[in-house]
Every structure is written in C-alpha cells, then in structure tokens.
Amino acid sequence: MKELNKKKEPIGCAIPMAFLLGSHQLVADLRVQRKFGMIEGMKDWWNKYSSIKSRWRC
C-alpha cells in the first residue's frame, strides 16, 4: 500500500485511465463494424461509454 501512496496521481484516476487506454481496441473494432454496416446498438454502447468516462473524470 505504501508504494501506491508514493504516486502523485490519485489511485482513482489511474484505474479509469487504464480502462480508457484499453478501450482503444474496442473503438477500432467498432470502426470496422461500422465500415461493414453493422452499427445496430452503437448508440447504446456510446451512451454507456460516455457515462463511464464522465464518472471517472479527475
């Protein structure tokens, strides 16, 4: 636990940043799906993603 406290950024900000960085692959997959016309449910996914992103703002 002491090592975590040494970091300057809050622990709460480190976790969502990792999530957002990991989601780039998901975004790339969605772009491929959009290219082939498979965009059903895209708005629902984007609303969920936006709500998660806004919750973790530092």
For 24-57, the pLDDT digits (tens) are 666 777 676 666 555 555 666 667 777 766 666 5
Tokens standing for 46?
A: 């984007």
Task: Kindly state the average pLDDT of the residues 13-34.
Answer: 63
Task: Kindly state the average pLDDT of the residues 12-20.
Answer: 57
- The pLDDT value given to residue 17: 58
- The pLDDT value given to residue 48: 72
pTM of the model: 0.22
pLDDT at 1 exceeding the cut of 50: no
Is residue 1 classed as helix, strand or coil in its secondary structure?
coil
d(CA 19, CA 5): 20
